[in-house]
Amino acid sequence: MSKSTAPNLQCGAKLLDLSSPVVMGVLNVTPDSFSDGGSFVGLDKALARAGDMLGCGAAIIDVGGESTRPGAAPVSVQEELDRVVPVVEALVQEFQCIVSVDTSTPEVMLAAARVGAGLINDVRALQRPGAVEVVAGLDLPVCLMHMQGKPETMQKNPKYRSIEREVVEFFVRRIDACLSAGVSRQRLLLDPGFGFGKTLEHNVELLSGLTGFLSLGLPLLVGVSRKTMIGDILGKPVDQRLHGSVAAAVLAVERGANIVRVHDVLETVDALKVVAAIRRRQVSAR
């Protein structure tokens, strides 16, 4: 078992306790989101969905307005702002939770921070022009995710000499870029980016060897929920990947993940409560 050594994370005005693993609930606000068909585009629906996930025990709501699914239509800065910022603002006002913004766009990072976002989740690890500078001017943590290639083409024959080594090398480069720009180490989280320029074998190797990333000394975020890797293992479509996703989340936490990004909050929170009870070697109903 890997014991978490992650400290608390200051997320703007709120403190995220990472002494035990927490669940981040996915809130897509795209019209083309693959697993919820864009059914949460309206503000009311987004708030209701977030409220459900918080009631089920999510600690963070991750709001995303850009689909990174291969072949997804690109979104303009203005459109992303229009989709994301009102939802972030409403969530911050309505709920006592940490709102994460899933974006690579500096303008969206800035606008979301201004309305109270507590975390930046960037699948491009602040590589868009201006992103690292904008984050340096904010006081928020940021998740640096690994991706090989670009969303449009990343699943066309991804190749690595050694995936674990290459992902670590990427993390080291991006951590250095952040430190150079004035983003302190205490603000960084890492994510190997399951499914982002990776075959099934690559994903399995990464999850199996997740403890290898702990040596970087930063909190780990993992997103495997409903992904193709689960579907490929099971031979099942996206609406039948719940149990496989929960199993993968449990294994990620057991290997040291501090945050798991999921669609199915209730089921994942229950599974992690059982994990926590076994870790404490005591059982208590709560």
Q: Is 261 a catalytic residue?
A: yes
CB 9 within 8 A of CB 15: yes
Q: How many residues bind ligand 8Y7 (CB under 6 A)?
A: 15
Q: Which is nearer to ligand 8Y7, 134 or 196 (CB)?
A: 196
Q: Which of 92, 131, 171, 191 contacts ligand 8Y7 by CB under 6 A?
A: 191
Distances (CA, A) of 78 to 105, 106, 107: 10, 12, 9
Residue 264 within binding range of ligand 8Y7, rule CB under 6 A: no
Distance in Å, CB of 38 to ligand 8Y7, minimum: 14
Nearer to ligand 8Y7, 29 or 123 (CB): 123
Nearer to ligand 8Y7, 30 or 90 (CB): 30
Site string for ligand 8Y7, 222-261 (x = CB under 6 A): -x---x---------------------------------x
Residues 116-149 as b/e (b if ≥16 CB within 10 A, e otherwise) read: bbbbbbbbbbbeeeebbebbbebebbbbbbbbbe
Which run of H or of E encompasses 15? Answer: strand 14-16
Side-chain-side CA neighbours of residue 230 (13 Å)? 21
Annotation marks residue 198 as catalytic: no
Q: Is 121 in the site for ligand 8Y7 (CB under 6 A)?
A: yes
Of 195, 196, 178, residue with least CA distance to 187: 178
Contact 94, 53 (CB under 8 A): no
Class of residue 235 by CB neighbours under 10 A (exposed 0-12, middle 13-18, buried 19+): exposed
The answer to whether 260 touches 249, Cβ cutoff 8 Å, is: yes
Q: Which one of the spans 129-137, 209-217, 220-228, 240-248 is the region binding ligand 8Y7 (CB under 6 A)?
A: 220-228
Task: Give the burial class of 214: count Cβ atoms within 10 A of its Cβ; 0-12 exposed, 13-18 middle, 19 or more buried.
Answer: buried
Task: For residue 170, state whether it binds ligand 8Y7 (rule: CB under 6 A).
Answer: no
- 80 touches ligand 8Y7 by CB under 6 A: no
C-alpha–C-alpha distance, residues 44 and 52, integer Å = 12
Q: How far is the CB of 195 from ligand 8Y7 (least distance, A)?
A: 6
Q: Which of 83, 187, 227, 241 is catalytic?
A: 227
CA distance 155 to 69: 10
State the minimum distance, in angstroms, from the CB of residue 278 to ligand 8Y7. Answer: 26
Catalytic residue among 261, 279, 280, 286: 261
Instruction: Single out the residue of 47, 58, 109, 221 in contact with ligand 8Y7 (rule: CB under 6 A).
Output: 221
Any idea which residues carry the catalytic annotation?
227, 261
Q: Which residues bind ligand 8Y7 (CB under 6 A)?
A: 26, 64, 68, 102, 121, 123, 143, 145, 191, 193-194, 221, 223, 227, 261
